Amino acid sequence: MKQWAILVVGCAWVLSGLGKEPTLKIGMAAPPLQPGRWLQGPPVKEFERDKAYLVVFWAAWAEPGPVLMTHLNRLAAKFKEQGLVVLAQTVWEQDPAIAAAYAKEAGLGSDCRLAFDEPLPPGWGPMATNWLDAADQGAVPVAFLVDKQGRLAWIGHPCKVKFAQIEQLLAGTFDPKKAAQDAETLRQNDAELLKVWNRAKSCVRQQHWDHVEPRFEEMAKLLPEGERDCLDLLRFRMLLGRKNKGAALQLASALSDRCPDEALLQNQLAWELLISGPLEAADLDLAEKIARRANEAAAGQDAAILDTLARAFFLKGRKQEALELQEKAVKLATENNREELEATLRSYQAGKLPYSEP
């Protein structure tokens, strides 16, 4: 089921902390890069003053693999000439060969560096210890932006890294003080945010719609302004649940326009629309537009996104195109979603729309 995947990504501020005071914070000097092995690209011995760095911690067992690698490829290709170095740093893995093979399978491009954190007893290597543990980051993927002065400028989910952030970082106009203040606000409010977030999710799942908006208002007061976009994802689900499709479509269109490079968000919006019930032609057009944006952002290499776009085509009567996309989705499937995608393919081959729980 796709429905909560992007909400977790979009609101990762309540999910990543280990609950302790971080010793590594935004504005501080970044720790040295000390992976056990460099698997792709020249090693980075030290942070150079004319370059900025995006250090992304990930693991082969953590989603979203292909979407993440595609996003890193786009960032590396767009900004390498301006001085951005992108490092995919695998952690909590035992076998560098498995990590390298997965990175290749998931589509990590040659513009990105790849490094393996050599595990030490009881299993944490120096990168996991000096970066993740020190910054109180207990889940991957997570990204660290390092500015041209070697300071941490931002910490968050890598799929939330935007072109504008990188441009500001490279131009020297990024405001690390504001980023540090926002991060501290999130840290101080983390426990309360988690409580309110769980109450909001429960209200949506139980369709207690009148109780949802007050939870949004509570969260908005606890969040820095730049982190409030994720609340629109819950608002969108609430509007669909209340059968207020007109307002939901308007919000989906605005949110899609605001975040064109966020493949997971685009996919979630399109999927929710496509399983929300009977759709008019204009509704299907919007769902297809958003699904195409997701597919473009993922460079056509994400099985779940192809599955969404195939459903849009099938609902519009373009059944052969839907079948072809679903076949590609199955080829790109992982162990986690292969069975579901194959079942969908069989439905399309039989000329039937597969059921999906709203």
Domains in the chain and their CATH numbers?
Answer: 16-176 (3.40.30.10), 243-358 (1.25.40.10)
Alpha-carbon span 285 to 273, nearest angstrom: 11
Residues 126 and 44: their CA atoms lie apart, in Å, by 15
Distance of alpha carbon 10 from alpha carbon 233, whole angstroms: 8
Which of left, alpha, beta for 53 (phi over 0: left; psi -120 to 50: alpha)? Answer: beta
Q: Evaluate the CA torsion angle 74, 80, 82, 83 in order and state its sign.
A: positive
Return d(Cα 57, Cα 37) in angstroms, integer: 14
Contact in structure between 89 and 117 (CB atoms under 8 Å)? yes
User: For every one of its 358 residues, what pLDDT tens digit does the chain have, with 9 covering 90 and above?
Assistant: 444 444 444 455 544 554 578 899 999 999 999 998 999 999 998 999 999 999 999 998 887 788 889 889 989 999 999 999 999 999 998 899 999 998 988 889 999 999 999 887 656 899 999 999 999 998 899 999 999 999 999 998 898 888 888 999 999 888 878 888 888 887 788 888 889 988 988 887 888 888 988 998 998 888 877 677 778 888 898 899 888 999 999 999 999 999 888 888 899 999 999 999 889 999 999 999 999 999 998 889 889 999 999 999 999 999 999 999 999 999 988 777 889 999 999 999 999 999 876 6
Contact 227, 188 (CB under 8 A): no
